[in-house]
Amino acid sequence: MLLPESIRKHLPDSAFSLDSIGCSDAQVMMFPDRVLKVQGDCNVSGNEFYMLSWLQGRLPVPEIIAADHVDGMRYLLMTRMSGKVLCDEAILNDQHRLAELVAEGLRHLWSVDIAGCPTNRTLDRKFIEIEEGLRGGWITPEQAAQPETYGPKGFRSPAHLFDWLVKNRPVEELVLSHGDYCLPNIFASDKGLTGFIDIGLSGVADKWIDIEKGLWSMWANTTGVFGGKKRGFDRRLLFDALGVQPDEDRLRYYSLLDELC
């Protein structure tokens, strides 16, 4: 890979591996003490740089070593997080500990003062993006993650789903949202949470977005959806760890919103 000099001069001589965890289109090179993320220029990759810069000292996230934007590509060289991802098999085997770590991560996010946060991910902003996607034909039923979203027992089309989302929008409880609060993006050690990665979708948004995504990721990773050992899953553990009651309407709402975002 041809890299800009501004990035290459900061790379160690040691060997690297390619990260295969996650679903993004980024190429991620893992060095012993740093990570290079190469991704096409888009709202997500641009926002990751801005949010990483803003979150320094506010949240345990990677430090930026170097960054560049050349010929439609973004290059982001960061420090490597310590600890293990929460989808590590040893963590998945202890669902009580997993739930406590996911809850701890949420509390970290919610403790950040959102005054001055550079990114708005509220429903008003997301609705504008969805409208643009519908007009441009970028959102189709085939992209749905859940097969029952459309069809005889679901919505007629993405436009029909969007209309329902607008009419049924909840009152938002605004916090700092990770935006992609899945187990591979959360790190922990034996002493507890160590940090977060992949924050390109982060910004000010409803706290229930991350609760829903975290709950879904816990279910998918413990039950073998992504491979590995199949275990039972007790969703109540997360809500007990958080000390909140599950809001089924909000959970369903943000699960359906995710089909269009």
Query: How does strand 186-189 pair with strand 17-18?
Result: unpaired
252 and 120 in contact (C-beta within 8 Å)? no
Write the DSSP symbol of residue 233.
Answer: -
> CB of 226 within 8 A of CB of 220?
yes
List beta partners, residue 77: 36, 66
CB proximity list for 172: less than 8 A, separation 6 or greater: 122, 123, 205, 206
Structure tokens, 147? 């097969």
Tokens of 69: 């934007």
State how far the Cα of 259 lies from the Cα of 66, in Å rounded to an integer.
Answer: 34
- Active-site choice (180, 198, 206, 210): 180
Q: Is 180 a catalytic residue?
A: yes
Tokens of 233: 């899953």
Tokens 């409803």 sit at which residue? 206
Shortest CA distance to 181 belongs to which of 242, 238, 102?
102
Query: What's the chain's Rg over C-alpha atoms?
Result: 19
CB burial of 139-166 (b: ≥16 within 10 Å; e: otherwise) equals bebeebeeeebbeeebbeebeebbeebe
Instruction: Give CA–CA dist 5/9, Å, rounded.
Output: 6
- Annotated catalytic sites, by residue? 180
